[in-house]
Structure 1
Amino acid sequence: MSGLRIAIVGAGIGGLTAGIALHRRGIDVTIYEKARELRELGAGVVIGANGARVYDSLGLLDSIAAIAGKSSTVTMQTWQGQALPGYRPPYPATETYSLHRAEFQNLLVAAMPPGTVRLGHECVAAVEDERGVRIDFADGSTTHADLLIGADGIHSAIQPLVGAKSAPVSEGIMAYRGLIPAERLDGIYDMGLWSLWVGPGQSFLTYPVSDGALLNLVAFVPTDLDVEESWSAPGDVAALAAAYDGWDRQVQDVIAVMDRTFRWGIYDREPMQGWSTDRITLLGDSAHAVTPHLGQGANQSVEDAITLAVLLENSCAADIPAQLRRYEELRVERNRQVREGAREAGQLYRSTGLSPEQQADRIVAIYDRLELRTYDAERVARETLAARA
């Protein structure tokens, strides 16, 4: 073991991935989650090539592939069903892992030693000094660590502790979400497809999860309401159907077999210049939430996780402040670029003034600019360390 003791607050995808990556490098890590149980959230999550590269290095990619939807083709078409000429996905379907969030979360928990993930621990305060961080929980218990990592989502309780303030920002869009059993879709939808329909003011996304047993649906529509950033706020299937009246027949047929839907508020954060003190840092949505239009929310938290793990691998407690500065140097600008790209992609999907050819050209240009297929966060971190050795 390295001698470092690290506490992570939040057992979402980013926190769990960070825990696994740190543990695999011999670091003593414990993950604290305020929920008393990990709920079965009906939501899909996408791991693209940049995230999959990390899980491959952690020895988890085969397990992830086993529970992923089995897509063979990625399509993008107009709201009337016309393919976008010249469109190509950011990475092939074979490098895209579409997952049921709860199944994925359980897989990551199982990859940690028993007792590493502690449920029912809500962080209410943390006090930092030159020796480390004391962390206080709502049940009256405390713990000490050399480093506290806040991976507790868009409504982070840890964010104020680093002196940063970046409130969630709406882009005027909400989403209807749902999971549909594959047997209801016979003759309606090919479960080997990942499909996105783009149209005036809104878009419609479908992809398989749970080894093809379920179809995940995300329908993005305009809103001027404050919608809860939640995967479990109940929605209205009739309202969803009305929003897509006149769209491609397949879109309407998919909605017609739904029996329930949930509303999801779409928010991100304005970029922060930094999100660390000497002994506390942030990871994932707590630092840099992005809109979901590039499928990069989870992948950016995974990039954060492996970056931190590489930087801390051979570090001692005295090295932590300097390594957190390096972490920010590597991640702040990358996250800013991805946030801007995700917002731009969403606007292109919902464009009213571009031809299908123009939409395709500009969307593909975003993919290429952000290197979504080729970016290797672990390599970038290692090269940074080597250059400064």
Structure 2
Amino acid sequence: MPSTSSAQSSSGRALRVAVIGGGIGGLTLGLALRRRGLTADIYEQAAELAEIGAAVALSANATRELERLGLGPALDAVSTEPTELIFRDGRSGARVAAHPVRDGGAYRTRFGAPYYGVHRADLQKVLSGGLAGAGLHLGHRLAALDQRGDVMMLAFENGAEVEADLVIGGDGVRSPVRRWITGGEKVRYSGTSAFRGVVPMGLLPSLPDRQAIQFWMGPDAHLLHYAIGGEADSVNFFAVVEGPGTWTSERWLAGIAPGEHRAGFSGWHPAVIEMLDALPQTQRWGLFVTDPLRRWHRGRAVLMGDSAHAMLPHHGQGANTTIEDAVTLAELLAAGGARDLDRTVRRYQDLRQARTRTIQRSAWATNRLLHLPDSVGPGALARRDARMARFPEDFGWIHAFDARAVVGKAAAEDSRAA
């Protein structure tokens, strides 16, 4: 049966929060609410928790919040902290720019929290272990959503029917909750696709700087990789190419012909080809994004994570901004927002929309920089390299962000204005 919250809604009874989606965002929100004396019911369509994808890079804007939730030691035990961030020429392998991360404690000193590479399954175990199953309902695929007065009515394909005071859609790029809020899909193919995998380190003898997070850049393609696991014994890679021009599959995945994964990397450094060929590649991932949404909420339903702001992964911020969303919502609800949910969801959107849109736009721009063709000439390539050398200065604002502090500052401003 759905659990109850210690917070009270405007009706005076315990607040009923329903979170759709048991991924990184949903589990983090459940933990963040519980830390603040609230509870939520999390409805996950899968019969068991299983993240799509291989790994995730967690930057300080997320790890500081996970540490505040008491997950720091468990997360550290299953993660690798990169030695450096390195940008390379994809064909020659030359180091274009490099910035220390673990080396010298540079990243933690600058941002106050670590940068980790972690397998998604391990991250999910850490989050679900912290939640200990409280309020988690598996095998619940949302079939219908409606609002009657101030009450949200949820129906699931397994026949379950639930009432809630607030519904939070953490249900991914093709979000049913978003369709209810916006009346449309609002998701589109980016024109780029990717090949990915997790490779045992022993299969990569040509790989330089094995524990660094590295971008290999070239015409119309790039390869990102970083070590994962408590022993740094595996490498997660994500190889992005321009095209195909259209995406006809209704799924994120499409089959490929033998050797098709290498087509965009002809003539690249042996370490790149070695990584691409280390595992059988039979499919490519279409990269989809959400168009910027005018509104993230309707009535007593609101969006978080990819359902609100799915972005290209070139800043590695999909999971990180989702964690920010979860903490922001939890802080607002704990600060008395349960008594005026309409105001709370508006305030949440105000605090999150501009930042996530800016990161979305920056990820598009970064895609263009990483994929510059030779035809742009040496001057443009030199300017790209200079941008990569300024990476900490240009993009440190992403990592320095403190979601809890931002909510606190907004609350103080609201108090002064009252």
State the TM-score, normalized to the length of structure 1. Answer: 0.92
Per-residue Cα deviation, 1:234-293 (whole angstroms, up to 9, x for no partner) = 556622234322111221222333234642111111111211123110001111111001
Query: Residue 36 in 1 paired to residue 55 in 2?
Result: no
> Does 34-43 or 73-82 show the bigger shift?
34-43
Q: Say if 1:71 and 1:93, in contact at 8 Å, map to a contact too.
A: no
Query: Residue 244 in 1 paired to residue 265 in 2?
Result: yes
Q: How far apart in 2 are the matches of 1:386 and 1:90?
A: 34
- Judged with a 3 Å threshold, the aligned counterparts in structure 2 of structure 1 residues 231 and 54 are, in CA distance, closer, same or farther, namely farther
Please name the residue that 2:26 is paired with: 15
Alignment equivalent of 1:358, drawn from 383, 395, 399: 383
SS of residue matched to 2:127: helix
Q: How far apart in 2 are the matches of 1:59 and 1:268?
A: 32
Query: What displacement does 1:62 show?
Result: 2.2
Q: Say if 1:46 and 1:97, in contact at 8 Å, map to a contact too.
A: yes
Please name the residue that 1:374 is paired with: 400
Alignment equivalent of 1:82, drawn from 82, 94, 99: 94
Per-residue Cα deviation, 1:45-89 (whole angstroms, up to 9, x for no partner) = 11111111211221212221211124212211111212224x548
> Does 312-321 or 175-184 show the bigger shift?
312-321
- Judged with a 3 Å threshold, the aligned counterparts in structure 2 of structure 1 residues 309 and 228 are, in CA distance, closer, same or farther, namely farther
- Judged with a 3 Å threshold, the aligned counterparts in structure 2 of structure 1 residues 131 and 256 are, in CA distance, closer, same or farther, namely closer
The aligned amino acid for 2:361 is: E
Query: Residue 46 in 1 paired to residue 54 in 2?
Result: no
Q: How far apart in 2 are the matches of 1:34 and 1:23?
A: 22
Query: What displacement does 1:21 show?
Result: 0.7
Q: How far apart in 1 are the matches of 2:89 and 2:238?
A: 16
> Does 213-222 or 282-291 show the bigger shift?
213-222
Please name the residue that 2:240 is paired with: 220
Q: Counterparts in 2 of 1:251-330, with a 5 A limit?
A: 251-260=272-281, 262-315=283-336, 317-330=338-351
- Which of 1 and 2 has higher RCO (CA within 8 Å, sep 6+)? 1
Q: Say if 1:201 and 1:222, in contact at 8 Å, map to a contact too.
A: yes
SS of residue matched to 2:80: coil
SS of residue matched to 2:131: coil
Q: How far apart in 2 are the matches of 1:103 and 1:371?
A: 27
Return 5+ residue gaps in structure 2 as ranges: 1-5, 8-13, 109-113
Return 5+ residue gaps in structure 1 as ranges: none
> Does 244-253 or 353-362 show the bigger shift?
353-362
Q: Say if 2:18 and 2:167, in contact at 8 Å, map to a contact too.
A: yes
Please name the residue that 1:60 is paired with: 71
> Does 150-159 or 225-234 show the bigger shift?
225-234
Query: What displacement does 1:370 show?
Result: 6.6
Asked which structure has the greater CA Rg, the reply is 2
Query: What displacement does 1:136 show?
Result: 0.9
Per-residue Cα deviation, 1:126-171 (whole angstroms, up to 9, x for no partner) = 2223332121111111112211000000000101222354522222
Q: How far apart in 2 are the matches of 1:66 and 1:26?
A: 27
State the aligned residue count. Answer: 388
Q: Say if 2:173 and 2:307, in contact at 8 Å, map to a contact too.
A: yes
The aligned amino acid for 1:205 is: L
Q: How far apart in 1 are the matches of 2:171 and 2:25?
A: 9
- Judged with a 3 Å threshold, the aligned counterparts in structure 2 of structure 1 residues 90 and 164 are, in CA distance, closer, same or farther, namely farther
Alignment equivalent of 1:103, drawn from 119, 122, 127: 122
The aligned amino acid for 1:104 is: L
The aligned amino acid for 2:96 is: L
Query: Residue 338 in 1 paired to residue 338 in 2?
Result: no
Please name the residue that 1:169 is paired with: 188
